[in-house]
Amino acid sequence: MNVSMIDVSLKKNVLRKAVASGRICLSKDTVKLIKEGKTKKGDVFSVSEVAAINAVKDTPRMIPLCHNIPISKVDVVFECGDDFVDAKVTVVSYGRTGVEMEALIGVGVCLFNVWDMVKYLEKDEDGQYPGTRITDIRVIEKSKKEIM
């Protein structure tokens, strides 16, 4: 088996940005409690934002062939509907390789954290999660720009 990290040593440093988004579908009652800040584990948005930032920084540990890159900025934005929470993670770096994987890992872990914080509200009488699901994780924007 041949496995190797791509050599980016001759690539120019450029300003790179990637934005990823995803959704967690939840019950209306759960979303209401999240919005009101009344879940047992505390502020779902604050903890999930920190989880996303940590995940972005740890991406090379989870995806072995990703480069360890300097992260300049991570921004996490939440939007709620009646029965879902959307998360959008923006990652910025000045470096030799893109930040798409960092944005994707960030949004995934952000939504996993939301699930963890509200799972007690989502379980049915059999301990299952019939309506809870994470969907639509994708890169919605990618850019790179040379800085003079």
| Residues taking part in catalysis | 116
- Give the pairing type, strands 84-95 and 133-145: unpaired
Give, in order, the Cα–Cα distances in Å from 117 to each of 47, 137, 146.
9, 19, 41
Give, in order, the Cα–Cα distances in Å from 14 to each of 51, 97, 98, 148.
27, 8, 9, 9
